[in-house]
Amino acid sequence: MDRIKIEGGNSLNGEIPISGAKNAALPLMIASLLTADRLTLKNVPNLADVNLLARILRNHGVDLAVDGKRAGPAMHLGETFHLTARDIVDTTAPYEMVSRMRASFWVLGPLIARMGVAHVSLPGGCAIGTRPVDLHLEGLKALGADIDIDGGYVIAKAPKGLVGNRVTFSKVSVGATHNVLLAAALAKGETLIENAAREPEVGDVAECLTKMGVKIEGIGSSTLRIQGRDSLEGAVHTVLPDRIETGTFALAVAACGGDVLLNGARRSDLSAAFDILQKTGTHVTDTNEGVRVTRNGGGIEPVTVETQPFPGFPTDLQAQMMALMTRANGTSVIRETIFENRFMHVQELARLGADIRLHGDTATVIGVSGLRGAPVMATDLRASVSLVIAGLMAEGETVINRVYHLDRGFERLEEKLSRCGANIERVSAG
């Protein structure tokens, strides 16, 4: 099993290309199930989760052809996927695949909408607390799906098709919004989704669906009005840049000091996080090419952070911010309101010398004068990259084990960091 080895202490200077957003690429790929025509997606990142979903979609009958990256300054414009689901040959998404990646559960809505039946395993994914699918199922039931759960599988039927309706979520859920939005595209009549997730990735999927012929009002707001179609057309769509990768590298620059251009990044997708980052003493500047992040080596100021649905501070940057705050000049408070059990990185940061006190959903981070390298273990995707940031700050060598978590969500992480001066390398087992 591969490991990441880091010798800390170097500043970061240069340019990092921002890849396409994993959290948009996955539902966009799933949207291919809605049409018999070809859906072309540009800027798809080469990630383990993307490759796993490609296998799942092929299992359903999706034909997938991939164009590689273009060399040169546009290398961050990733792979191009051509997906054609002319015939759905299997409406079952098996446990052995869905259990490995939660987002694959989102095939449920498109399969019911197009085929009138679906057998989809209950999901798995990162171990960051229980994330029930009740909102997904309630939303699909509102559109007329008959749903049972048997043997760990959701068995959904709508032999006469789905019918548009009002769907009001009791709380904001990105996954449930994706599932119902995709299903509503082929439902008869109008669907109104209230308390919809506002994340840019949801908007990106909605923009793609409009290119496929669906009329959608309220994109980017908490109320989506969808006019369903009997059939959808093919389209060409470019995946938006990954705001979580953007924020992660911005926090790495803040941790190490330096000057880095995040090429292709969009500040508007991460305003709350950048506002807090600037309070730490880090400078964030818009440019024609992306976002420039600089810190001149001065001290890191402590901050108070509370994770919130978009447009608030993203839960997917909580662990990375905590790593930065381990070296702040004072005490920081980080409250996690989205997922329980998302502080598993705390004990690993403590191995590097961090002083973090947990009380319920709140972490109090007392800044220390220095971290020291040590062997650590990645527990989930975002926790693993927080250990990378801590290792970049630490004196001596840090070895991060179980880095397959990183490969699920970060494309060429060590290569991007090493090009900016980090002493980081992947070590293959054996």
User: Is 171 annotated to bind ligand?
Assistant: yes
The helix/strand/coil state of 415 is helix
Looking at residue 124, its pLDDT comes to 59
* CA neighbor of 205 nearest in space, from 366, 44, 38, 28: 28
Q: Which helix (H) or strand (E) holds 228?
A: none
Do 55 and 165 sit in the same domain of this protein?
A: yes
- For residue 48, the domain's CATH number is 3.65.10.10
Q: Which ranges of 257-360 would DSSP assign to H, the alpha helix?
A: 271-279, 318-325, 346-351
**211 marked as binding residue:** no
Domain interval for residue 303:
3-18+241-427
User: Would you say 131 is a known binding-site residue?
Assistant: yes
- Residue 134 annotated as binding site: yes
Distances (CA, A) of 285 to 12, 115, 232, 260, 288: 16, 48, 41, 11, 10
Determine if residue 214 is labeled as part of a ligand binding site.
no
Q: Domain end: 175, 205, 238, which one?
A: 238
Residue 242 corresponds to which tokens in the numbers above? Answer: 């990954």
Which of 179, 203, 238 delimits the end of a domain? 238
Residues 414 and 335 in one domain: yes
Residues 216 and 308 in one domain: no
Residue 216 has a pLDDT of 98
Tens digit of each residue's pLDDT, the chain (430 residues): 789 999 999 999 999 999 999 999 999 999 999 999 999 999 999 999 999 999 999 999 999 999 876 544 455 568 999 999 999 999 999 988 888 888 899 999 999 999 999 999 988 544 434 457 899 999 999 999 999 999 889 999 999 999 999 999 999 999 999 999 999 999 999 999 999 999 999 999 999 999 999 999 999 999 999 999 999 999 999 999 999 999 999 999 999 999 999 999 999 999 999 999 999 999 999 999 999 999 987 799 999 999 999 999 999 999 999 999 999 999 999 999 997 777 889 999 999 999 999 999 999 999 999 999 999 998 887 788 999 999 999 999 999 998 888 888 899 999 999 999 999 999 987 5
Whether the CB-CB separation of 61 and 83 falls below 8 Å is answered with no
Whether 126 is a known active-site residue: answer yes
Consult the annotation and say whether 174 binds a ligand: yes
102 among the known binding-site residues? yes
Please tell me the distance from the alpha carbon of residue 284 to that of residue 292, in angstroms, as a whole number: 6
My answer on whether 278 and 219 are in the same domain is no
The whole-angstrom distance between residue 367's C-alpha and the CA centroid of its chain comes to 28
One domain, residues 269 and 402: yes
**238, 258, 287 - which closes a domain:** 238
Q: d(Cα 39, Cα 29) in Å, to the nearest integer? A: 8
225 is in an annotated binding site: no
Same domain? 11 vs 41: no
- Measured CA to CA, the distance from residue 427 to residue 430 in angstroms comes to 9
- Count of domains forming the chain: 2
Question: Within this chain, do residues 78 and 222 fall inside the same structural domain, yes or no?
Answer: yes
Question: Do 313 and 305 touch, CB atoms closer than 8 A?
Answer: yes
Among 211, 165, 204, 205, which Cα is nearest to 187's?
Answer: 165
132 is in an annotated binding site: yes
* In a shared domain, residues 196 and 335: no
CB 161 within 8 A of CB 109: no
141 and 286 both lie in a single domain: no
Co-location of 233 and 250 in the same domain: no
- Of the residues 126, 208, 256, 420, which is catalytic? 126
Residue 66 shares a structural domain with residue 186: yes
Query: Do 195 and 219 lie in a common domain?
Result: yes
